[in-house]
Amino acid sequence: MSKKAILVISFGTSYNENREETIVPVEKAIAKEYPDREFRRAWTSKMIIAKLKKRDGEHIDYIDEAMDKLVAEGFDDVIVQSTHIMNGTEFDFVYNIVSKYKTQIPVIAIGRPLLTTDDDYDEVVANIANDLLPLAGKGALVLMGHGTEHYANATYSELQLKLFFAGYKDVYVTTVEGFPDFDNTLELMKDKGYKEVTVTPFMIVAGDHANNDMAGDDDDSLKSVLEKEGYKVNCVIKGLGSYPSFQRMFAEHAMKAEQI
């Protein structure tokens, strides 16, 4: 008889309360579709894994640890679902490490990150319009992503264009470490007459980046940068994993996982 598992792999967070509000609901949404599979968890941030171990005494598996356990326990059919935003560095780690186990686990299928296909972009735009845009009232909405040096950083620019062409001219996508950066976004917002701006993370969790780079009081936080330009800033510290619409997307991606 086949022994099946569903392994959900996330970046991770050291904010335990936010984990319960974001990562855990995504995991549950995915696991719900697979009652016949044993649920397992892994994270890709070794730094956060080490921090949790030292601070809380809690161990979260890295990718290879989770896969080694599945091999040792005799699982022969595994679906791996990433909860990452894009097909970037972290997902590369997932794909490359999991692929090494093809000779030890006969059936391995991998579900793609949130933004992979054109349909994904359309669905995310709809989710933003339905779930995030109402947060902004009559002002602008700025979604803050992480950003990366990986070529997948172009994901943010494509999402921005998709939003504009869908008619959402008051929604802006910015990043902490990539393009568009805060200055680029300010340039797009210039002369639009906004008095209020709502900022919220375009990240699965609302952890360190959301609390500090977005909503912190340092001069270079997104909130401070916008306030210097005269905007009244409202911060909504809520990760995408908190919204059922995004939870559902990851569950759908798991159901479309492709065998490697």
The kind and range of the H/E element at 109 are strand 107-111
Rounded Cα–Cα distance for residues 160 and 144 (Å) = 12
Topology agreement, domain 4-113+243-259 and domain 118-240 = yes
State the average pLDDT for the chain: 97
Percent of the chain at pLDDT > 70 equals: 100
- The pLDDT profile of the chain, 260 residues, written as one tens digit per residue, is 899 999 999 999 999 999 999 999 999 999 999 999 999 999 999 999 999 999 999 999 999 999 999 999 999 999 999 999 999 999 999 999 999 999 999 999 999 999 999 999 999 999 999 999 999 988 999 999 999 999 999 999 999 999 999 999 999 999 999 999 999 999 999 999 999 999 999 999 998 899 999 999 999 999 999 999 999 999 999 999 999 999 999 999 999 999 99
User: Over the stretch 48-79, which tens digit does the pLDDT of each residue have?
Assistant: 999 999 999 999 999 999 999 999 999 999 99
Token couple for 112: 């793609």
Q: Where are the alpha helices (DSSP H) in 77-153?
A: 89-99, 118-127
**Enzyme catalytic residues:** 146
User: Of 137, 80, 113, whose CA–CA distance to 203 is shortest?
Assistant: 113
CATH 3.40.50.1400 fits 4-113+243-259, yes or no: yes
- Kindly report the CATH number that applies to the domain delimited by 118-240: 3.40.50.1400
Cβ atoms within 10 Å of 246's Cβ, excluding its own: 26
Taking the domains of the chain in order of start, what are their residue ranges?
4-113+243-259, 118-240
